[in-house]
Amino acid sequence: MREMKSIDGSGGLTGANELEAMDKLFDRLFPITRSIAGPGVRQTLAILGEQVPLDVFGVPTGTRVFDWEIPREWHIEEAWIRDEEGRTVVDFRNHNLHVINFSTAVDRVMTLEELKPHLHTIPHMPDAIPYVTSYYKERWGFCLSHRQLEQLRPGSYHVCIRSKHVPGELNFGQAVLPGESEEEVLISTYICHPSMANNELSGPITAAFLYNRLNKWEKRRFTYRFVWLPETIGSIAYLSMFGDELKRKLVAGLVLTCLGGEAGLHYKKSRRGNAPLDRLIEHLFAREIPGRTVPFTPTHGSDERQYNSPGFNLPVGQINRTLTPGFAGYHTSLDTKESMGIDKLLQSVNEIERILAAFEHDGFYINTQPFGEVKLDRHGLYPDMNSRMTARHSNNQLEDGRDQLKRILTILNYADGEHRLHEIADKCNSSVTNLVPLVNLLMEKGLLRGPYSEPRGLFD
Amino acid sequence: MREMKSIDGSGGLTGANELEAMDKLFDRLFPITRSIAGPGVRQTLAILGEQVPLDVFGVPTGTRVFDWEIPREWHIEEAWIRDEEGRTVVDFRNHNLHVINFSTAVDRVMTLEELKPHLHTIPHMPDAIPYVTSYYKERWGFCLSHRQLEQLRPGSYHVCIRSKHVPGELNFGQAVLPGESEEEVLISTYICHPSMANNELSGPITAAFLYNRLNKWEKRRFTYRFVWLPETIGSIAYLSMFGDELKRKLVAGLVLTCLGGEAGLHYKKSRRGNAPLDRLIEHLFAREIPGRTVPFTPTHGSDERQYNSPGFNLPVGQINRTLTPGFAGYHTSLDTKESMGIDKLLQSVNEIERILAAFEHDGFYINTQPFGEVKLDRHGLYPDMNSRMTARHSNNQLEDGRDQLKRILTILNYADGEHRLHEIADKCNSSVTNLVPLVNLLMEKGLLRGPYSEPRGLFD
Amino acid sequence: MREMKSIDGSGGLTGANELEAMDKLFDRLFPITRSIAGPGVRQTLAILGEQVPLDVFGVPTGTRVFDWEIPREWHIEEAWIRDEEGRTVVDFRNHNLHVINFSTAVDRVMTLEELKPHLHTIPHMPDAIPYVTSYYKERWGFCLSHRQLEQLRPGSYHVCIRSKHVPGELNFGQAVLPGESEEEVLISTYICHPSMANNELSGPITAAFLYNRLNKWEKRRFTYRFVWLPETIGSIAYLSMFGDELKRKLVAGLVLTCLGGEAGLHYKKSRRGNAPLDRLIEHLFAREIPGRTVPFTPTHGSDERQYNSPGFNLPVGQINRTLTPGFAGYHTSLDTKESMGIDKLLQSVNEIERILAAFEHDGFYINTQPFGEVKLDRHGLYPDMNSRMTARHSNNQLEDGRDQLKRILTILNYADGEHRLHEIADKCNSSVTNLVPLVNLLMEKGLLRGPYSEPRGLFD
């Protein structure tokens, strides 16, 4: 699938090695008790920092960030329920999800009836522990499988949650890969869900390996800014620090989430709907990479909702790889490594790298000899004899030559500063990726200038 | 059908009472001998003035109005045909339509053969008296049913039309309901057809009752200008006086005509085709009120042809309620109260009020907290616990809550000064009317500003 | 088919006479040994100059024209192959195509094996002599039918081509028909292919007769510039001299090629895709003249590739009449008069004249009485009595009157300086040609001004 060899000339981890490295990283990150603020985020960033040179930021508790305020940190030591016989019937040590994320502390004995309003289950999924959070309202509670709940007999129970909400900071990590231009591409993913696979770790792991791929490119047109942050409050805090800078610099962005599924890529466009990367991905999904696009919506999704809030309206989409249809484990203990595929993360890295590689070339070009056709043979680009036979009775190689010739003519004709390369590719009935070697050839010959990020006149 | 209770808080006539009042008004207006200028128009305006505080205007005969000239008034006393035995075979006292509207005078005895070119019938509708006018060419004549014509025996006939064309004035009435803004909505209808129901009285009666509905609204964003005028020459005269003002102030307009039919509403768009009300009505017809739209055409219709002449190009559409398909009585004596429905007039009042109520809200809004999402719980707008169960296993009320939440998120995201409310409603897959309570709630919370009539920047 | 009688009032050659004249011209032009530079082009221009008052230009050998250079002239005296017995087995005197166009000289004895790389045939079309050129690489060779090739026995052959490449000039001819405006329409066709019918002579002959048609028009809004030039290098040389002038003046243009086929017209749009003539031809093909349009492409075609190079981007399309599907004779000796039809050239002249006649009227118009409707009866344009019967029970003539009335109302309403006449015609569900007499009538009445080439305000 990866064919961007001209770009990725490095000798880094590939194939089986990358897969193995991903798998190990997954296993280290999975057990951590993440929440939106607290030690779990810091542990996660420390481990990611072994893969990627991270700058870790902290925003103090109580800081106002737009309409929000940075919460206290959540520290939790233990959380369990014991029955009258002293048997532990629910224990947070068995699964991070057994306690409401951000739960307040409790240490009481109560009847089952008193306890029940604090117990969360999913009756129609009797084996799943649900993922429940209560960040902004003080509340305590446990989550358990419905099967567990049904086994609880009437009687009195000792419930204990040893947790604290303490002033501290909200953390996120950033890694920037500089490019030739100050124009930036944002890659954002989140690190606040404990012990879930597709809807948590698939994003940060894909981002880390993608970083290493781009780091090996011989050159980068754009600067790439990778961020790992707690969802929602994290991206809002991030925007409060870097939003103005992003407004000036950002040309594209992707929120990475749920990238371990079986299906093809699924791209939710930016709010603008026609940002350069929105249009390129639509082109690539039609011609080269299996996938489909959907319009932006603010009603669900991830941090793209913040980046696309009307005050920012950044050109940031969201990309995911949907799970097998019918998989119901989202936001439960059933979202495990086994229910997705590490190999799918590798495929996501490959495909997103391919998209970004195409994006590097997908600007506006200028034909430096725009008056009349370029005399191709003078530049070593054309058969010197016009014969009907050449076209018709050629072997495959000659036919290929004819196709290349048509593509060259089309590139040169539309390299007028008003067409993006993927639009020229559409006129060639081709993927933009197929045009890149020809564009490079024409650049070498001095017949093209570009790519430019904005339309321009032929003589500007 | 009427549900704009928040707007119409008054205790005016409704339901059966309105129906009865409409019926009485109809019966008083029907017999009047209306024409484009003369006592009939003044009598009509006097009666309408009992319902609506009218300013009545007069434009003197001979006044040049653009390419036209105000004609003399038409006064008619009698019009009849008597046969050799002195029997009156056609008498204007029996039906206003028996004489050509604006007919010159005559008092002669002539043979049937001489008379025939002056007799107008519709052979394939033997019971209908046709409606014939000759405003701008001097001509006399009678209209009768084809059955009557066939009973006329050869012989000599005394024909007498006692009519005069005298200098006077062309009249129209206007009533203005002031609103918070100087931006205006025009409601225009015509009062020049004698003794026809759907294609005459349905318009002025609907307009009068609509006026009273809007008069009871607690507040009006727009100023509403209602006019009752003779068709064509009346609206041209009106434009010669008020056209420049309308060009400055008008944001929408409706010509009301033929509103007593069985079928759903039928809206002919303004010439612009995408005026704000054109687009809103298309939205409402797709989501809330049965109806269909057609593009503007200058080849037929009513006064919208004048409002949409290229020199004015006002955003005025025309609204009607088509009769049962196959009804052929248009422009004949068959166009009676019985052939249409007074209850349909009431339905027209209801539906047009509903359209205008939606139009009051269908502007551009500004999210006052546009950076990142609004923290909804801080404003009492959000469930404070994120639980998978909330969405899935809730009862209907909770599902509704979820829908409301999605709508709130969508309104806030697109309240960027560039989307009209009906466009935001389309993104919610909802009618604009359903969004109004949420918009009002968000306005109360200080999270929205608006509505504005023109697009604007978030910080303007 | 020709109905533009109001425009073509002259008594020139028509019908059978034109056909005969075309046939004679064809027979004189066919045998000439044309190439891109040399005596063949000059002979061709001399003969065309008998039909059309031509200005003949010459661009000296070695002149740099953009990325190209004017080649030397090609002069050829003889070219033959003789076998061991002295029998001439291939002779250029038998067919112009027997020698590679622009072939260098040779005079050698060689074996069949040595000769074969210099012999060009089409194996799957054994009777066809292919058309092969080598303008820009020195090379010698013969073309022959595959049947001829198969009859050549092993042995030694004497091959002789007596040709010279000498400094001289590249020639083209131009004829300008002045019009009321400096705005120009370009008609361009090529004269460099020897002894081929559809793909050569159909163009220059159609252009010459079209010139004479337009010369007889009583008036011309536009100036028409006709050029006959060698393909590719000729239009590039032409653009190097006149390109800037064309950029200032050109409003439309057509490259004429392959106009002798059976099928309907085939129009390749200009690169802009929505130039005025592009849109008009789409309208005419939908309503009046059988034909179809295709988008511009730079990958194949004729001189429109040069006119539409990005530095010029002129509004020039290409028009042709495709041959019977399956005709395979393109660029071979099978492209003869018999394989196409002289009558089809006449049809092409008729249809292109019709397109250009419509284009003369297809501008923007201004209604001089734009406030309210024009009072049509005051201008002798309207029935003075409004009667339902008029519309419904009229004879055909009256119905026609009703249709005319609708068209007049539509023209006047949209004569706002923002609609081209063909767009108004679309609103009338009519061809623009049908509207021309009404437009002329309204111009005579002083109710319309125009046509204008650019949109304008009502009061500009």
Question: In the 3-class helix/strand/coil scheme, how is chain C assigned residue by residue?
Answer: CCCCCCCCCCCCCCHHHHHHHHHHHHHHHCCCCCCCCCHHHHHHHHHHHHHCCCEEEEEECCCEECCEECCCEEEEEEEEEECCCCCEEEECCCCHHHECECCCCEEEEEEHHHHHHHEECCCCCCCCCECEECCCCCCCCEECCHHHHHHCCCCEEEEEEEEEEECCEEEEEEEEECCCCCCEEEEEEECCCCCCHHHHHHHHHHHHHHHHHHHCCCCCCCEEEEEEECCCHHHHHHHHHHHHHHHHHEEEEEEECCCCCCCCEEEECCCCCCCHHHHHHHHHHHHCCCEEEECCCCCCCCCHHHHCCCCCCCCEEEEEECCCCCCCCCCECCCCHHHCCHHHHHHHHHHHHHHHHHHHHCCEEEECCCCCCCCHHHHCCCCCCEEHHHHHCCCHHHHHHHHHHHHHHHHHHHCEEEEEHHHHHHHCCCCHHHHHHHHHHHHHCCCEEEEECCCCCCCC
Distance of CA C206 to the CA centre of its chain: 7
What distance in Å separates residue A310's CA from the closest CA in chain B?
Answer: 5
Q: Are B306 and C372 in contact (CB under 8 A)?
A: yes
Task: Compute the half-sphere exposure of residue B94: CA atoms within 13 Å on the CB side of its CA.
Answer: 13
How far apart are alpha carbons B185 and B352 in whole angstroms? 13
Q: Contact, C186 vs C142, CB < 8 A?
A: no
Looking at residue A6, what is its pLDDT? 32
B vs C: CB pairs below 8 A: 98
Contacts of A372 in chain C (CB under 8 A): 65-68, 235-236, 239-240, 306, 309, 311-312
A-B CB pairs within 8 A amount to 99
Task: Provide the pLDDT confidence category of residue A20 given band limits of 50, 70 and 90.
Answer: very high
pLDDT digit string (tens) for B399-437? Answer: 567 889 999 999 999 999 999 999 999 999 999 999 999
**For residue A322, what pLDDT band results from cuts at 50, 70 and 90?**
confident
Q: Which of A67, A68, A134 shows the shortest C-beta gap to B385? A: A134
Residue in A369, A409, A458 closest to C298 by CB: A409
Three-state secondary-structure class, residue C436: helix
In degrees to the nearest 10, what's the CA dihedral of C252, C257, C263, C266?
Answer: -30
Least CB–CB distance from B298: residue in C375, C386, C410: C410
User: For residue C371, what pLDDT band results from cuts at 50, 70 and 90?
Assistant: very high
Cβ-nearest to C310 among A388, A405, A413:
A413
User: Is the pLDDT confidence value at B199 over 60?
Assistant: yes
Instruction: Say yes or no: C395 contacts chain B, CB-CB below 8 A.
Output: no
Answer whether B413 touches A (CB < 8 Å): yes
State the Cα–Cα distance between residues C434 and B301, nearest whole angstrom. Answer: 24
Q: A410 contacts in C (CB within 8 Å)?
A: 297-299
Chain B CB within 8 Å of residue A236 CB: yes
Distance CA C40, CA C43 (A): 5
pLDDT at B405: 92
Under 8 Å CB-to-CB from B113, ≥6 apart: which residues? B154
Q: How many Å lie between the alpha carbon of C355 and the closest alpha carbon of chain A? A: 27
Interface partners of C (3+ CB pairs, < 8 Å)?
Answer: A, B
- Which strand (E) or helix (H) includes residue A227? strand A223-229
pLDDT value, residue A329: 83
For residue B390, what pLDDT is reported? Answer: 41
Q: Confidence band (pLDDT; 50, 70, 90) for B296?
A: very high
Burial category of B19 from C-beta neighbours within 10 Å (exposed 0-12, middle 13-18, buried 19 and up): middle
Contact B413/A310 with Cβ under 8 angstroms?
yes
**How distant is the Cα of B307 from the closest Cα of chain C, in angstroms?**
7
Q: Regarding the domain delimited by A15-70+170-361, which CATH topology (the fold level of the hierarchy) does it fall under?
A: Aminopeptidase (3.40.630)
Q: Which two tokens stand for residue C279?
A: 């849109």
The pLDDT mean for chain B works out to: 92
**pLDDT given for residue A262 in this prediction:** 86
- The domain C73-166 is placed in CATH, from the list 1.10.3720.10, 3.50.30.90, 3.40.50.300, 3.10.20.30, at 3.50.30.90
Report the gap between the CA of A371 and the closest CA in chain C (Å): 5
Confidence of residue C326 (pLDDT cuts 50, 70, 90): low
Note whether B388 contacts A134, CB cutoff 8 Å: no
Q: What is the pLDDT of residues C140-164, one digit of tens each?
A: 999 999 999 999 999 999 999 999 9
Q: List the single range of A10-24, A32-46, A343-357, C425-439 with lowest mean pLDDT.
A: A10-24
User: b/e for A160-175, b at 16 or more Cβ within 10 A?
Assistant: bbebebeebbbbbbbb
Q: Which of C369, C384, C393 sits opposite B66 (nearest CB)?
A: C369
Interface residue C151 vs chain B (CB under 8 A): no
| Contact present, C308 and C314 (Cβ < 8 Å) | yes
Contact B313, B243 (CB under 8 A): no
Residues 6+ apart with CB under 8 A from A62: A69, A70, A167
Which residues on A lie below 8 Å from C298 (Cβ)? Answer: 373, 409-410, 412-414
Interface test with A, best of B374, B378, B386 (most A CBs within 10 A): B386
| Six-digit token string for C433 | 């040609």
Contact B413 A310 (CB under 8 A): yes
Tell me which DSSP letter residue C34 carries: -
Instruction: Report yes or no: C312 at the A interface, CB cutoff 8 Å.
Output: yes
Q: Which residues contact C451 (CB under 8 A, 6 or more apart)?
A: C221, C360, C361, C362, C363, C364, C365, C421
CB neighbours (10 Å) of residue C453?
Answer: 16
The pair of structure tokens assigned to C457 is 């305000």
Looking at residue B460, its pLDDT comes to 86
Is A245's pLDDT higher than 60?
A: yes
Instruction: Output the CA angle B227-B229-B232, nearest 5 degrees.
Output: 120
Residue of A196, A299, A335 for testing the chain B interface, max B β-carbons within 10 Å: A299
Mean pLDDT in residue range C334-355: 95
The model's pLDDT over C380-427, given as tens digits with 9 standing for 90+, comes to 887 555 554 443 333 444 456 788 999 999 999 999 999 999 999 999
Mean pLDDT across B138-162:
97
Question: Tell me, what's the pLDDT at A12?
Answer: 44
Contact between residue B277 and residue B341 where contact means Cβ atoms under 8 Å apart? no
Q: Using an 8 Å CB-CB cutoff, list chain C residues near B236.
A: 372-373
Bridge-partner residues for A226, per DSSP?
A175, A187
| CB-closest option in C122, C139, C309 to A413 | C309
Do residue C133 and residue A409 have CB atoms under 8 angstroms apart?
no
Answer yes or no: is pLDDT of B438 > 90: yes
Does A331 sit within 8 Å of B369, measured CB to CB? Answer: no
- The answer to whether the B15-70+173-361 and B73-166 domains have the same CATH topology is no
What is the tens place of the pLDDT at every residue in A409-432? 999 999 999 999 999 999 999 999
pLDDT of residue C11: 38
**Position of tokens 């944002």?**
A186
pLDDT digits 0-9 by tens, A203-219? 999 999 999 999 999 99
**Hey, what are C445's tokens?**
């009445």
A211, containing H or E segment: helix A202-215
pLDDT-based confidence at residue A8 (cuts at 50, 70, 90): very low
Q: Which residues of chain B does C385 touch, with a Cβ-Cβ cutoff of 8 Å?
A: 100, 132-134, 137, 139
Residues 6+ apart with CB under 8 A from B439: B361, B365, B411, B421, B448, B450
Is the bond preceding B71 in cis, omega lying within 30 degrees of 0? no
Shortest Cα distance from C423 to chain A (angstroms)?
A: 28
Contact between A384 and C132 using a beta-carbon 8 Å cutoff = no
Chain C neighbors of B135, CB-CB under 8 A? 386
What residues of chain B lie within 8 A of the CB of A232, using their CB?
373
Task: Lowest mean pLDDT of A23-27, A259-263, B87-91, name the range.
Answer: A259-263
Q: What is the mean pLDDT of residues B93-119?
A: 97
Give residue-wise pLDDT tens across range C260-312: 988 899 999 999 999 999 999 999 999 999 999 999 999 999 999 999 999 99
pLDDT grade for B35, boundaries at 50, 70 and 90 = very high
| Closest CB to B370 among A137, A236, A311 | A311
Token pair in block for residue A170:
């909200």
Q: Which of residues 92-121 of A touch B (CB under 8 A)?
A: 120
Q: Are the beta carbons of B65 and C375 separated by less than 8 Å? A: no
Instruction: Please name the residue that has the structure tokens 């990005």.
Output: C310
Listed residue (A128, A119, A129) closest to A152, CA to CA: A119
* Best to test chain A binding among B365, B388, B428 (most A CBs inside 10 Å): B388
Model pLDDT, residue C408: 96
Verify whether the Cβ–Cβ distance B311 to C393 is below 8 Å.
no
Confidence at residue C362, expressed as pLDDT on a 0 to 100 scale: 98
Fold type of domain C15-70+169-361: Aminopeptidase (3.40.630)
DSSP string, B247-273: HHHEEEEEEE-----SS-EEEEPPTTS
pLDDT at C4: 28
Nearest-Cα residue of chain B relative to residue C403: B299
- The pLDDT confidence band at residue B110, using thresholds 50, 70 and 90, is very high
pLDDT at position B15 = 62
- Tokens in use for B307? 């409002």
Q: How confident is the model at residue B306 (pLDDT cuts 50, 70, 90)?
A: very high
Q: For B233-260, how does the pLDDT look when each residue is reduced to its tens digit (9 = 90+)? A: 999 999 999 999 999 999 999 999 999 9
Give the nearest partner residue to C310 out of A389, A416, A427, using CB atoms.
A416
Question: Tell me: the pLDDT tens digits for A149-199?
Answer: 999 999 999 999 999 999 999 999 999 999 999 999 999 999 999 999 999
Q: Which chains have at least 3 CB atom pairs separated by less than 8 Å from chain A?
A: B, C
CB-nearest partner of C298 from A369, A389, A410 = A410
- pLDDT of C7 reads 30
- Provide the number of CB pairs (under 8 Å) joining chain A to chain C: 101
Q: The domain B15-70+173-361: what is its CATH number?
A: 3.40.630.10
Residue A78 tokens, joined = 């233990």
Asked if pLDDT for residue A52 goes beyond 70, the answer is yes
To the nearest whole percent, how much of chain B has pLDDT over 70? 91
* pLDDT for residue A385: 56
Query: Mutation test of the interface with chain C: which of B67, B102, B134, choosing the one with the most C Cβ atoms within 10 A?
Result: B67
Does A2 have pLDDT greater than 90?
A: no
B394 pLDDT exceeds 50? no
How many angstroms separate the CA of residue C363 from the nearest CA in chain B? Answer: 17
* Domain spans of chain A, in order of start: 15-70+170-361, 73-166, 364-452
Asked if the model's pLDDT at residue A368 lies above 50, the reply is yes
What's the pLDDT score for residue B326? 59
Find the helix packing angle between C342-361 and C15-29, rounded to 10°.
120
Check C67 against A373: CB less than 8 A apart.
Answer: yes
